[in-house]
Amino acid sequence: MTAASASGPDVGPGGPVGLYDGIMTTRAMRRFTADPVTDAEVEQVLRAAQQGPSGGNIQPWQFLVLTEPEDRAWIGELYRRAYDRYEAALLEGVGGFRDEAARRSWDRTVAASRHLADHLAEVPVVVLVCMPDIDMTVVDDQGPMDVGTPYASVYPAVQNLLLAARSMGIGGALTTVHRIHHDEVRDHFGIPAGQQVVALVPLGRPSGRFGVAPRRPVDRVTHWGRWGERRDATITAYEPPADLPR
Ligand SMILES: Cc1cc2nc3c(=O)[nH]c(=O)nc-3n(C[C@H](O)[C@H](O)[C@H](O)COP(=O)(O)O)c2cc1C
C-alpha cells in the first residue's frame, strides 16, 4: 500500500491513472482483499465526493463511515437479508437476453452481487451516504416548478467517491438494497429521522482488476439535434492502455 498524503490523492498500485482511463475502467467492484483502507484514504475519497454538483449548490450529503467490526457485522447481516429477498424476486422474472454475451454479463453481476451480500461484513469500510428529506420544488405565482429530484444532488457525489477511490486502487459499488430495511439502518446508527440513507458503498482493495465494463456502443444511445436522428460513431471502441495501473 502507498502512503496517503495530506495534500493530494494517494495513487493505487502501478501509479497514477489518467482521468479518462480512470472513468472508463471504474466498474462495480464487489470482491475485496482483507487489506485495510486507512482513515486518510476515506477522507480523501469523501473530499472528492464533496466536489460533486448539487442543485443550487446545497451540498445535501452527509457520510456515515463504518469501520468497526461489530458495525460491519450488523450492516452485513441486514444487507444479506435485504439482498436475499431482492435476488429471489429478481431471478424470478429473468430471461430474454439479447445475446450470449449479455447473459454472461448478467450472470457475472448476479454472482458478484451475491458474493458482496455474503461478505459485506468483511469489507474494510462501509460508507452510508445520507441526505435530508428535502423538497427542492421552487414555487412562484404560476405554481410549483419541477426542477428535478433531490437525489440528483447526491448521486454525483457517490460517483466522484468511486472515481477517487479507483485513482487510489480502492474499489467499491453504489448499492441501495439496504433501503428495503431503511428505518432499521437509521435507528441502529442514530441517524436522525429527517435523513435518508440513499446509498451504501463498500470500499476495499479489489481482489480482481479494474477494467472496462460492458456498455452499448455510444452511437446506439445518442441522438443528434432531434430524437431518432443518428450519426455513425467517428470514434473506435475504447481500449485501456496496456500499462493501465490497477
Ligand atoms: C441506483 C443503483 C442501485 C444499485 N444497487 C445495487 C445493490 O443494491 N447491490 C449491488 O451489488 N449493486 C448495486 N448497484 C450496482 C449496479 O449493479 C452496477 O452499477 C451495474 O451492474 C453496472 O456495473 P458495472 O459498472 O460493473 O458494469 C446499484 C447501482 C445503482 C446505480
- Give the pLDDT band of residue 123 (cuts 50, 70, 90): very high
- Regarding the beta carbon of 176 and ligand 1, being less than 6 Å apart is answered yes
- Give the pLDDT band of residue 6 (cuts 50, 70, 90): low
Cell numbers placing 21: 482511463
Q: Choose among 221, 211, 218, 214: nearest CA to 236.
A: 218
- Give the pLDDT band of residue 170 (cuts 50, 70, 90): very high
- Regarding the beta carbon of 197 and ligand 1, being less than 6 Å apart is answered no
DSSP readout, the chain?
Answer: -PPP-SSS----TTS---HHHHHHT------B-S----HHHHHHHHHHHTTS--GGG----EEEEE-SHHHHHHHHHHHHHHHHHHHHHHHHT----SSHHHHHHHHHHHHHHHHHHHHGGGSSEEEEEEEE-----EEETTEEE----GGGGTHHHHHHHHHHHHHTT-EE--B-GGGGGHHHHHHHTT--TTEEEEEEEEEE-BSS---PPP---GGGS---SSTT-----SSPPP---TT---
- Regarding the beta carbon of 180 and ligand 1, being less than 6 Å apart is answered no
**Rounded Cα distance, 9 and 42, in Å:** 11
The pLDDT value given to residue 96 = 83
The pLDDT value given to residue 102 = 86
| Cα–ligand 1 centroid distance for 107 (angstroms) | 14
- Regarding the beta carbon of 26 and ligand 1, being less than 6 Å apart is answered no
| Cα–ligand 1 centroid distance for 245 (angstroms) | 23
pLDDT digit string (tens) for 14-60? 889 999 999 999 999 999 999 999 999 999 999 999 999 999 999 99
* 229 pLDDT higher than 50: yes
Which of ligand 1's atoms lies nearest the C-alpha of 215?
A: 27
Dihedral sign computed on CA atoms, order 37, 41, 43, 47: negative
* 7 pLDDT higher than 80: no
- Regarding the beta carbon of 158 and ligand 1, being less than 6 Å apart is answered no
* Average pLDDT of the segment spanning 121-146: 95
The pLDDT value given to residue 1 = 43
Name the average pLDDT for the chain: 94
The pLDDT value given to residue 8 = 67
**Rounded Cα distance, 62 and 153, in Å:** 12
Q: Choose among 55, 110, 59: nearest CA to 83.
A: 110
Considering the chain, what percentage of its residues have pLDDT values greater than 90? 83
Question: Measured between alpha carbons, how far is residue 228 from residues 91, 222, 225 in Å?
Answer: 33, 8, 9
Dihedral sign computed on CA atoms, order 104, 106, 110, 115: positive
Considering the chain, what percentage of its residues have pLDDT values greater than 70? 97
| Cα–ligand 1 centroid distance for 15 (angstroms) | 27
* 189 pLDDT higher than 70: yes
- Give the pLDDT band of residue 70 (cuts 50, 70, 90): very high
* Average pLDDT of the segment spanning 127-134: 96
Ligand 1, atom 23, lies closest to the CA of 28
**Architecture of the CATH domain 19-220:** 3-Layer(aba) Sandwich (3.40)
Give the least confident one: 50-64, 90-104, 131-145, 215-229: 90-104
In a mutational test of the pocket of ligand 1, which residue from 176, 182, 209 has the highest number of ligand atoms less than 8 Å from its CB? 176
What pTM, to 2 d.p., does this model score?
A: 0.95
* Average pLDDT of the segment spanning 99-124: 94
- Give the pLDDT band of residue 136 (cuts 50, 70, 90): confident
